[in-house]
Every structure is written in C-alpha cells, then in structure tokens.
Structure 1
C-alpha cells in the first residue's frame, strides 16, 4: 500500500513539475515590450491565453506613464501569485489607418553605382585570355561608385572612362558590403573588338511587377512587396538611387506546382507612372505618390493590427490575378512567429480559396505584397511561397512595413 501511495506522489510531483516548467517557459518567453492599439488592450495574448490572472500566474500593474503619442502600462507577471518571472511593458499606441492595396504595380529602379554580376575573359592581340577585374581583386556583388574620381551614374559612363584610359590604370572607388575600398584595374585591348575592356559583367537597373500593400492618404506614402528587391544574379539587396512605380496590368498567369513556383506576368508603360521609390529594405519597397491611384479612390482606410493583435485562424488576402481587378480570397493564418525585429517570415499562411487555387495554384511570384486582412484590419502582406507547397507561404506583419515609413513606430 505504501508503495502505491509513493508512486502516486511521484506521479503528482512529475505533473506539478512539468506544469510549473511549462508555465514558466510560456510566461518567460513573453516579449518585454508589447505594442498594441490603445483601444484593443483586451487582445494581448500569452500564446493562446489572455494576459490575465489565472491559477498559474497573476498579472499586476505597478506603474503607468503617458506621453502625447502613447501610454505605457508596466506589469509584473508572477507564477502562482508568488514568484516574479517577468516584467512586461504594454505600449499603447494610437490607432493607425491606411488604404489596403492589392493592385498590381510596376516597379523600375536605378541602383546606387554599378553592380558587378559576373566576370568574362578578354582575348588579347597575342591570344592570351584574362579578366583584368578578377586580377585586380574585384568580387561579385561589388558596387562600382567612381572611376578615376568620376561618379558612375550609368553603364555608359563606365564604358567611356575605360575607353578613354587607352590601357592605362583606372582607379575605382568600390562599395563592398558595408565598407568603401579602392581598387586599380588595368584595361586591356580586345582582339575581337579593338576596344579596351576590364572583363566584368555589370548592371545598374532592374524592373518588374509586384503588388501594392498600402497607401496612406495624408502623407502619400505607400509600401509594396513585403520583401526586398534583390539582384537576380548576386542575390544581394539592391541599393536604390532612384525609382518609379507605375499602374500595371496582369496579362497571364503561370500556375504554381510542387517544386515549380508560378508567376503573374504583367505589363506597364512609362506614361503610367504614379509615384517615386526611395527605399528598398528587408521589409519591402517604399515611396511617395502625391496623387492616389485611381483604382484606390473608392476604397476606405482601415485600421492596422499590431503583432500582438494578430491571431491564428481565418483571414483574407487582396490580390489581382487578371487585368487590374482586385479581389478578396480566403486563407488561413496557420502559425504566428513572435518577432522583435523585422522579418518577411512573420507568419505562415495557407490559401483555401478554390477560385484562387484553380487560377494560380496558390501563391505565385508577383503576389508579394498582397495585403492580409483579418477581422476588418490590415495585419500583414504576402511575401514568399513554399516551393514544394504552392498553396502555402509566408507573410510579414504590417507593423514592420509601416515602421519603415514612420507610420506605426
């Protein structure tokens, strides 16, 4: 009998220990600062539980402070009402409203300097093949800023400088990652063309079609894509010198399949310019449009949801997969990732809308930036597709995107 009671006590002890450990980890993992819209305090979550006292933990407010823009409530979280495990600051922010996009947008940008995307050999008069750029220590992804003290505003400027050198050393100012370095390259005369060359493949512009995420009426600020524009060859994020956005039209769809991402194919023309781009970041591209896009004029601004207000469950995305018409499609937010800094992989989403699945197979290239709407609030934007599951992908919290243009800091 004694042995039986001993086993029961051991079992109970294990259950209590596991419960205690689980509760401790759950509470301790709560962010130290939680931003939330001022009138949505009841939505603060501890994973799937409300941040309210229960038999495992208690929440006590110990101080409050206010400023003109927000109010802070400082909380103590205690296990079983006795053991302090966490101090949490609720940062109550004012409500922010923006117009959700969903429309296709043409993007064209010029980079800061000229990007090195590859190497080539130059065949000389004596039959020797070499790349002067490689010999000088140039690397893929280097950005050529100046040549012989002259700013490289485009590829023609680089070609003219090399041609004028007549084979003499050209001194380059180069940006490599976060450093500025100098390199000297000795151009050589090509036997094929009798022109001087340095054996580099370079690029200074790119263009494509994506999706507008939001537009803010008062400031004219907008954001799109939800992820950076990277160079197609080097994979590195492009540094914008100047850029433009255009009204675009979707003309065809390549349906996504397992192992083969699909694509929205769109077109735009120079006369359809509607805004300028000034930022390319890990959270998307941003700019100013003094006049609202014509097909947004009938839309109303809606509130945004901050990270702590987003929940797993049903939601919708706004997207255009044919012409210029934007429609709502059903999705499910399957998982949320708690984040303290911007990342395009804030949440995992799944397309369940039969019409969209039939047309595109799920998420395809060109849908990046499609707004994610939940309970009438803008909560995020589509960013990536799962290559082997085209009906699933990632989204970014809208808060990260609005922070880039100082609309929700």
Structure 2
C-alpha cells in the first residue's frame, strides 16, 4: 500500500511539474525560439533557459562547438558556446533533464558584411501580365448589359498572363488583342494566387466606345518611394522597403516582370500624428541612369542587382549583420533621408524583440527617441520603410510599419530574413568579406 501511495504521490508531482512547465513563460520562450541559431565563426555566444528545462550537450559535434554549462543558479541553465569552425550541429533541450522537448540546430556561419542603405529610392515595377482591379458591365450594341469576364468566373485580384497563347505585355496589349479578335472567343491564361487555369471569353462590342471589351479594369505597373536597406558589395545585390509592394486597390502582392530602382529626392513631408500616418513624397530623378534592376517583390522587401556600386557617406565601409539571437532591447539607430537628399542617422530604442521561428515583418518594436526626427516627421512615416536599423555597430534590421496610434513607434524586420530573400550565398562569398 505504501509503494502504491508513493507512486501516486510521484505521479501527481510529475503531473504538476509538467503542467507548470507547459504553462510557464519558459515553455513559451523555448517553443518560440528559432529552430536554427546562427553564430558567427569567431564570436562566442550564450544560451539561457530556466527550470524545469535543461540542455543536453552529449551528442553535439565537438569539432564545431566547444560548450560549457553553468548550473550555479538553481533556476537558470546557461550554456556558453565557443564556435570552432564553420559547420552545423544540434543541441537538445530536455524537460527535467531526461524528457526531450526541442532540438535546436546551431549553424556556425561566416560573417556577412554589407553597406547599410538609408537612401530614398524610387521604385518602378511592371507586373507579370496584368492585374484585374475591377469588373464592369458593358452596354452592348444589342441594347443589353454584359460582363463576359464575370460570367467566365474571373475575380478581382486575378492576373491575366496570356491571351490566345500570347504573353501579355501591358494593358494596351490586352485591348489590342481583344479588338483584333473582335467577337471571336478568346482563351485567357489566368493566375489566381498559386493556381493557373484557362478560361474562354467572347468579347462584346460596346455601344459607348465602339470597341470590343470583356468587362475588365486592369493594371500593369506601379511606382512609389521607399528606402534602401542594404547593398552587398561582393554580389552587388540590394534589398529595400522591408515589406511588399502591393496593389493599391486589391492589396495583393504584385509579381515582378521587370522593374528598376532610381534615385529619389524628398519633395515634402507630411508629419505623422495620432491616427494619421505621415508620408514622405519624393521625386524621381536621373531616371535615365537607374541604380539597379528589380528582380523580386516579396513580403519582406524588394530585391535586385545594382548596376554600379552603391555608397553611403556615413558608413563608407561594409559592416557586419547580426542574427536575431544577437539583437537585444536597448539603444539603436536608423539611417534615413528626410531632407537635403542626405542620409542622416537618428537614435531609436528597441522596446521588444520577438524571437521568430519563421519569417515575419513584425520582428521587433522600435521607438524613435531622436528629437530631430520627431520634430521633422513626428516619428516613422510612409516612405521610411526599409530604413536600416543599426545596433552595436551592426545592421540588425529594417523599419517596416508605423503604429497608427503612435507614430513615434513602429515595427522592424530582422535583417536575416531580408538577406535570405536576397539569395546571398554567405558561404561562397565569405572569403571576400575580410578585404574591407
């Protein structure tokens, strides 16, 4: 009976421990920690977890990492990591020292050096095909109203890639093909999110315009102003904006057929106020000499390749980037262009760092503390998206969004997500970084 009672007590104790663990902040922190931890090859690092979790380091690759644990404090387990060479290994996290909970992959990587941006840039983007932004009824010559596109199942947000196997160049091209075929049925190749399908539509002659139409409003290009985030000298690749270019009517991400970034001058600034985001209005100039070719439009910024080296008068030499595990709450700066077409550095404070297992544009919360910037713009305004964030002399991220109810605050994106989307091969180019 005594043994049974002891087993019951132990089981109850174990259940309480499990319940406490799974409802503790430590558990939340462990499971929201990135699956991969990147550490630069010559920089030491520490990892901390709290009871009831412990590190199991018995199965690590000792040729990649040298580890030392410190358990002096009963509630904290600190792991000191000394990277030995470029490589990869795993660290196991256990509950109560024996129940496997999570496996952390540790990558020792070469340093990446980039020139931070801050320049105001104009963005010109032509879409793949044309984007459907509206459906409209046609007054036919028969006196009836028609909308062939709606009847065929097209919706706002669809992209028309081809008509009768001809790749669509722009909106005028659509009009030309439709009127060449007149009232003959045409075949449209359509993309809806990740799905591609064909529809057949018979154009209708409009009594108003005297032309054949299919009842669509389409858009083929867009333009705007943002901020350059970084330039990678070894590959000449760049990243900007920190968020996607979306269609103003549909809110959908625009797919790039071709595009460019050009130099931009700040023409005016509308100050940000509570409930009313501010805005930078820019003017494109030297459009005959674009800065670079635009290749990708993603949720984490736009990316491409520069035609010539891009410079920064404040940071004339490339600086290292930081991964999220190196970023901390505290003082930082941002680079941006507000007036005089000159990059300036302004003080900010990182109020919160959100550890992310998967890419997200809301990686950290920043607050503008620099009185100069607050006076000029009220804080973060539209057009500053992509402004590089620097902490401890390293590029850590980019400004992405402003808080509508507090323009002094906004979100920042981890630079590692942008580097990944830029497709910079850190291993092939590592041997070049030291020459700067």
Q: 1:183-203 deviations in whole A, cap 9, x for unaligned?
A: 112211111221111111101
Q: For the structure 1 residues 187 and 23, does the alpha-carbon distance in structure 2 shift closer, same or farther, using more than 3 Å as the test? A: closer
Q: Are 1:35 and 2:38 an aligned pair? A: yes
- C-alpha separation in 1, matches of 2:28 and 2:204: 65
Q: Are 1:140 and 2:156 an aligned pair? A: yes
Task: Give the structure 2 partner of residue 397 of structure 1.
Answer: 414
Q: How far has the Cα of 1:36 moved from its partner?
A: 1.9
Tell which deviates more after alignment, 16-25 or 173-182.
Answer: 16-25
Q: 1:39-188 maps to which residues of 2 (within 5 A)?
A: 39-42=42-45, 44-45=46-47, 50=48, 58-62=54-58, 63-64=60-61, 66=64, 70-78=86-94, 85-188=101-204
- C-alpha separation in 2, matches of 1:297 and 1:376: 12
Q: How far has the Cα of 1:80 moved from its partner?
A: 6.2
Contact between 1:251 and 1:323, CA under 8 Å: does it hold in 2? no
- C-alpha separation in 2, matches of 1:357 and 1:143: 41
Contact between 1:146 and 1:173, CA under 8 Å: does it hold in 2? yes
Q: How far has the Cα of 1:277 moved from its partner?
A: 0.6
Q: How far has the Cα of 1:294 moved from its partner?
A: 5.2
Provide the secondary structure at the position in 1 that maps to 2:373. Answer: helix
Provide the secondary structure at the position in 1 that maps to 2:42. Answer: helix
Q: How far has the Cα of 1:73 moved from its partner?
A: 4.3
Contact between 2:388 and 2:397, CA under 8 Å: does it hold in 1? yes
Provide the secondary structure at the position in 2 that maps to 1:172. Answer: strand
Provide the secondary structure at the position in 2 that maps to 1:210. Answer: strand
Q: 1:1-400 maps to which residues of 2 (within 5 A)?
A: 22=24, 25=27, 28-29=30-31, 30-42=33-45, 44-45=46-47, 50=48, 58-62=54-58, 63-64=60-61, 66=64, 70-78=86-94, 85-269=101-285, 270-293=287-310, 295=312, 299-400=316-417
Provide the secondary structure at the position in 2 that maps to 1:273. Answer: coil
- C-alpha separation in 1, matches of 2:202 and 2:193: 24
Q: How many residues align?
A: 388
| Runs of 5+ unmatched residues, structure 1 | 1-12
- C-alpha separation in 1, matches of 2:256 and 2:94: 49
Q: For the structure 1 residues 382 and 27, does the alpha-carbon distance in structure 2 shift closer, same or farther, using more than 3 Å as the test? A: closer
Q: How far has the Cα of 1:55 moved from its partner?
A: 7.7
- C-alpha separation in 1, matches of 2:122 and 2:85: 36
Q: With structure 2 as the length reference, what TM-score do the two structures score?
A: 0.82
